[in-house]
Amino acid sequence: MLWIKSFHIIFMVAWFAGLFYMPRLFVYHAQAEDRISLDRFKVMERKLYFGIMTPCMVLTLALGVWLWLGWWSAPGITIGWLHAKLALVLVLVAQHFYLGKLMVDFKHDRNKHGHVFYRWLNEIPTLPALIGIVILVVVKPF
């Protein structure tokens, strides 16, 4: 089970890197004005989303389910703990798909937001979810 947990953490870190970096790309994309830059950001966003973020999300979730199947034998795990962690994971999955929708908007030149919006999106809700998940996993407050 430790190998599964290790790979779960590795893919989670890579997924989080994408969740933090994609809105940063959107910041620069929203500020870009020349066609070459706009096209370059579209390629970077597509490759990040489909080449890194989505596979890492799928593997994180799959390995998480595998770990969940053995949760009853893990010390310190309660139903409340599991529900709290799953709620935070659902926030991250929603964030992931929202970023995908925004990427499609940029792809079709339908961006409706300025760079300040994407600066806020860069941290919220991803940062609180990361903090919450790490505290739940390490401290196990309930």
- pLDDT at residue 113 tops 80: yes
Q: What's the whole-number average pLDDT of the chain?
A: 92
The yes-or-no verdict on residue 98 having pLDDT over 70 is yes
CA distance 13 to 112: 30
The yes-or-no verdict on residue 55 having pLDDT over 90 is: yes
Q: Is the pLDDT of residue 65 over 70?
A: yes
ω before 23 within 30° of 0 (cis)? no
**Whether the predicted pLDDT of 73 surpasses 70:** no
Identify the residue with better confidence: 116 or 124: 116
Give the global pTM. 0.90
Judge whether residue 49 has pLDDT over 80.
Answer: yes
pLDDT for the residue 81: 81
Write down the H helix ranges in the chain: 2-31, 35-46, 54-69, 79-107, 115-121, 126-138
User: Confidence class of residue 114 from pLDDT cuts 50, 70 and 90?
Assistant: very high
